[in-house]
Structure 1
Amino acid sequence: MLHNPEKSPLQHRKRQVTPPIRFDSGRNERAKIGFVLLPNDQLVEEDMVRMAPPGVGVYFSRARMPHEISTRTLAQLTESLAETAGRILPDDILDVVCLACTSGTVAVGEARVCSELNKGAPNAHATSLMGSVTKALAALQVRRIAVGTPYAHELTDTVVGYLQNEAGFEITAYAGLGLDYDRDMVRVTPDYLLEFGASLDTPEAEALLISCSALRSLEIVEALEKEIRKPVIVSNQAMMWNCLRLAGVQDRLSGYGELLRQF
């Protein structure tokens, strides 16, 4: 015997929604920040979620490029920045969109990076990790810095040259670890990074920069500041600080160095 749909038991259980539906600004009502990552990045998502204050949403998408980190491969980022930024909350509006790669910004150029990001997220403040680092150092009002990177020598020289010639900092000492792949950078131990950073400090340096989002430097920034008694900027700390400030979020965060605690 066939059931008559008009007399189906389900029809008797259906209820009409009582209007009006109530809406608010959602869980992340204070800000929505989007990050464009390299394909092999393993740390940025975790670090950003860890630092994000209540009410701030962090969202991610990955750009296309070869696995090796070099000036040649990083320059290819340009081809996919707009598309990648456009995939982050495509039916909503980001407050900030950021390229989460220090060396990529140096290879492509800050202005070009921001222009491409805004093609995909036209209503967002566009920035980059290197832009965040230079703004962080400016906020500390320092000009003489020591610099450590995980990169091979050519890319380290390129980053240091940018900081010196484009951003106007005096480099008192610098060194790179000679690594080409993220899979190696993420395995450098925090205790080694503490020793590495301390070894770069000079009496002339006003602050220390450890560059690269693929290093676990966020875990040792407080200890390193205590050891050298100077401010320490690390990539993911500077990136979160800058993105929060661009979004109008002024929270001071403990546990991540002087920058987020005081500025």
Structure 2
Amino acid sequence: MKFDFKLSSDKQRLPPMGLIVLQVDETIETEFRQAFNDSQDQLFVTRIPSGLEVTAKQLSNMEGNIKAAASLLPQSREYSVVGYGCTSASAIIGSEIISDLIKSGCSVKNVTNPLLAATEYAKHLGVTKLALLSPYIEEVNTPLRKAFENSGLSIEIFGTFGEEKEEKVARISETSTTKAAISLGQNLSVEAVFISCTNLRTFGCLDEISKQIDKPVFSSNQSLAWHMKKLSLESA
């Protein structure tokens, strides 16, 4: 038996958002569910091939797969924003190149990434002097610091866990992150703390760190979610 049906209209809904997640990322989707738990907006996720280790070469190699990853998002509607979920690769590849590649793979008004989102969130907070905590090895840390400085932010103090393997980054305890971030954030020249990496768990410790040092604390996933929401509302 075949039934007739009617189609619902998309006119009453905001355009969807898209998110490109690294193949090895075990954290961003969980934290995004928390960030968007009060939102009715549609958020579609696609994955991009990525290496088991966080090295400059592995991060750079993702450039060749960004367009294809974006093209795997549903194509029935234009996106208000697509976020590319890798802070360190954004520093190495560059925000403009990433934006162009994503726009060539899907119809989208705005593109962001954690590096760009973090700089915008720093502007929102009115801060320019940061403590930066990362899980990366130095060949990845160097372009990350440079990218922040090129955007007008001063890295007053820097700390790292120095871990290369993604599966270990995803399992760094929030207790460890809290201790490291508090140590950095207590520096008197620091106005705020940024914790880098979408695969590093932070949502359970951001408030506690901020309370302990009495300064703003933000992370890759928190910044990216905030910027995507902002761009989505602005483009509605």
TM-score tier, shorter chain, comes to over 0.9
User: Number of matched residues?
Assistant: 233
Q: Alpha-carbon deviation of 1:123? A: 2.8
> Superposition pairs for residues 124-203 of structure 1, below 5 Å?
124-164=109-149, 166-201=150-185, 202-203=187-188
Q: Among residues 193, 199, 204, which one is paired with 1:208 in the alignment?
A: 193
CA contact (8 A) 2:136 2:161 kept: yes
1:77-125 Cα shifts (integer Å, max 9, x gaps): 1101111011111233221111100001011011101010110123331
Q: 2:18, 2:130 → 1: CA distance?
A: 29
Q: 1:89, 1:219 → 2: CA distance?
A: 32
Q: Among residues 90, 106, 110, which one is paired with 1:121 in the alignment?
A: 106
SS of residue matched to 1:178: coil
Q: 1:81, 1:56 → 2: CA distance?
A: 24
* Superposition CA RMSD, Å: 1.9
User: Which residue in 1 is equivalent to 2:29?
Assistant: 45
CA contact (8 A) 1:31 1:55 kept: no
Segments ≥4 residues shifted beyond 6 Å: none
SS of residue matched to 2:79: coil
Q: 2:151, 2:87 → 1: CA distance?
A: 13
CA contact (8 A) 1:32 1:95 kept: yes
TM-score norm. by structure 1 comes to 0.83
Q: Among residues 66, 74, 90, which one is paired with 2:75 in the alignment?
A: 90
Q: Which runs of 5+ in 1 are unaligned?
A: 1-13, 251-263
SS of residue matched to 2:161: strand
Q: Alpha-carbon deviation of 1:154? A: 2.0
CA contact (8 A) 2:112 2:224 kept: no
Residues 16, 45 of structure 1: alpha-carbon distance in 2 compared, 3 angstrom cutoff: closer
CA contact (8 A) 2:15 2:78 kept: no
Q: Which runs of 5+ in 2 are unaligned?
A: none
Q: Alpha-carbon deviation of 1:181? A: 1.7
User: Which residue in 2 is equivalent to 1:81?
Assistant: 66
Q: Among residues 77, 83, 86, which one is paired with 1:101 in the alignment?
A: 86
Q: 1:241, 1:57 → 2: CA distance?
A: 15
Q: Alpha-carbon deviation of 1:31? A: 4.2
Q: 1:82, 1:15 → 2: CA distance?
A: 39
**Identical columns (%):** 20
Q: 1:96, 1:15 → 2: CA distance?
A: 38
CA contact (8 A) 2:15 2:77 kept: no
Q: 1:15, 1:118 → 2: CA distance?
A: 39
CA contact (8 A) 2:77 2:107 kept: no
> Superposition pairs for residues 22-37 of structure 1, below 5 Å?
23-25=8-10, 29-37=13-21
Q: 1:73, 1:93 → 2: CA distance?
A: 30
1:132-176 Cα shifts (integer Å, max 9, x gaps): 111111111111111000001221122112212x11211111011
Q: 1:42, 1:16 → 2: CA distance?
A: 42
